[in-house]
Structure 1
Amino acid sequence: MTISASGWVAVAGLGPGSEAMVTPEVSAALAEATDVVGYIPYVARVTPRAGLTLHPSDNRVELDRAALALDLAAQGRRVVVVSSGDPGVFAMASALFEALEAGPSTWRELDVRVLPGITAMLAAAARAGAPLGHDFCAINLSDNLKPWSVIERRLRLAAEADFAMAFYNPRSRARPQGFARALEVLREACGDDRLVLFARAVSTPEETLRIVPLGQADAGMADMRTMVIVGSSRTRVIERAGSPILYTPRSVPEDAA
């Protein structure tokens, strides 16, 4: 296969939902693109125009989607692969590089860029205050690509290390019980007092924020549009008129080690 010098692939993050959170760099790439490839609801966020071909596809076909994008770029097309949030956080950047590594050696000659976006974890944290203000970790609670035993082990270790934790994909119709079990594991490891933020549809008109102690957290409070952040032992709330502020102090005292 001969690679056209004019083709390129940009893996772009569209942010959590609001057009105001799409970066100028991503907007510029979309303005230059001849093709947009991505999951159906994310491609639907791109405004159609003359000269632009949209390639929406269903969930769980990430490698096929990535291979299509690389093949189009090899033909000289300017391709944007869209993800929500940031493409490098549980999204399409890794899938594209998996396809690149496994595909024809000529694909490695392509101009491939990753354009960062505002991921749901950061958007949710900013809406609530600064719950990720000290050490934290992010865990994808979907067991589609890894066994549940790995998820549970990581939950326990993160709790033992006293990280704040941000959870992607907490609960779906296909996985109604996983998040309930995750909450059980956290209560066993942390007790009931850790503060939990349920941030749904952040930056959209449907946005809701709810802060509860871990002992009152219920699996039904989350769905696939919800980012869940569990604070560390030092995370606290500042009560005030209007929305409270959830934050984690920047330091840990010596006697807490």
Structure 2
Amino acid sequence: MSLSRDEQIAEYGWTAISCDPEQWGGNKKNNRDPVVQRCSQVSLPDTPLVKAAMEHVKKELPEHTFNHSMRVFYYGMAIASQKFPTWKCSPETWLLTCLFHDIGTADKHTHGTFMSFEFYGGYLAMNALKKFDAPTAQAESVAEAIIRHQDPVETGTITTIGLLIQLATQFDNMGYRPDYVHPDTIKDVVEKYPRRGWSGCFSKKIREEVAVKPWCHTTASTEKFPHDVEHNELMAPYDDKY
């Protein structure tokens, strides 16, 4: 039985949220402190679609980028469940978004395409997911979230899954909003999916894309973006721990 339009909006994370932090609570101190949420407490979706996507991205991504994608999944699950429990999207759609969100950073795409990595990544994700028989609304949701995941504007609206991928990637890459995730959650996630110098690795990739594609969307964030990634104080203790 096919889902109605409203059911697809909820299931695939299409619900509109204001980009203004004052409206979605991004500038407010949450009264509830984060609690530990270990990887073992989170059910990893294991559908045929996820299996196909997982096999695909493992072939396309270097291990350090795959590990980042999985850390983003677990941090996002903690942020959504503890800070924004009313936000709706299926865990499967969230995992797919995380798996594909940096696929455009693969070296062959940095040097083999002209498009900005997140735009091309959205295109790659949508095509791959449709090939794996994902519902169109789900594939499009993943693609839109990927395209917008490096565009933290504060006007207009964005989807729930689009905002969540921004928050979770900013947390892992820059250490923004450190109060969103319990320190022991970080330790558990990093032990399972080690950073292995991710801060230096990703900041180098950002600068590489800007050098190769001086028109790319990454330039909108100026040098502050790679600087904050390289100098991620929250994750510094874990960057070479495992």
Greater strand share, structure number = 1
Query: Could you say whether these structures have the same fold, taking a TM-score greater than 0.5 normalized by the shorter chain as the test?
Result: no
TM-score (norm 2): 0.30
Greater helix share, structure number = 2
